[in-house]
A and B are shown apart, each in its own frame.
Chain A
């Protein structure tokens, strides 16, 4: 690796601490994923959808955004993203164990359906791509109220074919809204490979909406960081949306219910596992002289400790009460109405 490459983060304005922090978040997300797969197999949690292979893009994007100001509309694989904008392992474990204290939904939704108002994480659902117009609406509101922030949303390449993506992007393009659309193109939509899913190139769709499309290597955290940072600057300058296509590979099966060997080969998966973004990031740190194997072991141990704590906390936390089923269909009469009036 050349010197240029090993200090790329500095040329992007990232400190050494930040880039280590990026790695830490990627690793934490990876370990969370691995833990959940174990917990699911052990019957301790019902279900898990994994983000393995997508951590680089998620962390790169999160570091380019402003926490406490920007709005985030992530999709179900974005563990590394939400961990990087303030969600904790405990929060995620509470969701995995579907417990009352889960800040995402109070144990109502499947895990991976992120929500945390204080952190700017907007509640998401399962039907894919519905969040895209929401991101546009938040950006519109910000523009109307002359607030300086962006809204950032992600979705898979399969999901990019939903009508809502088209309608949302066109709306954002017409009004030059501060939105960043990031498609995490991981080559599969469950079993359907890219070429049966998407005609043309996703990145080229931006042209038709009059704003730039950028294709980046989604396994390279710094490349994604740079693209999102530029997109954010454009948005804040009033120059409108950006579409980022982050190309990557879904290393794990679609979910704990999926047998991916029905539609792809071990060899194909192995090929990509060797290009694992977390390992590549570690290598970058090692090559830059910012990291050592000893530090890595210490970090792994620390994450493990945290993970155990979070797991235990999630496991032992109480469930909602059965009658909670009936709450929050509508506002409590006094509550919000008075707030707004």
Chain B
């Protein structure tokens, strides 16, 4: 999806699954591009920690459902664009083997005002955690183990089920 249309207004969106490391600065630059009405950019970077629940890990292996993951992310980017006045949105998710310190996921949102950019980035992350078909397996000295889904992530995603509060007026 390169430009979901919401109310006739095209919002540039970048959605990509890749094994390669994410060139964060370059990706964000592409997102903001030549638009002159961007006042706020929020980025979220998910990074592979060196331990999981106190156990040192060698790597994460990220399995995904290729045909579904991109479509599922695209649906949520469209929903974010319908909920908030975004100028751009970006989701890049890696798969395969990822070592501690490496980036796993990048979400970036651009808007004229900061509240929309913050809310949309949180919304996208909460949905990625609970709805995007990715599964993490931890490699450690004990062998390989699948990461358990966390109920706190479901709780975080559920708060978006209520209708969004009315937009506050312009505060960048």
A and B interact physically: no
Interface residues of B (CB under 8 A from A): none
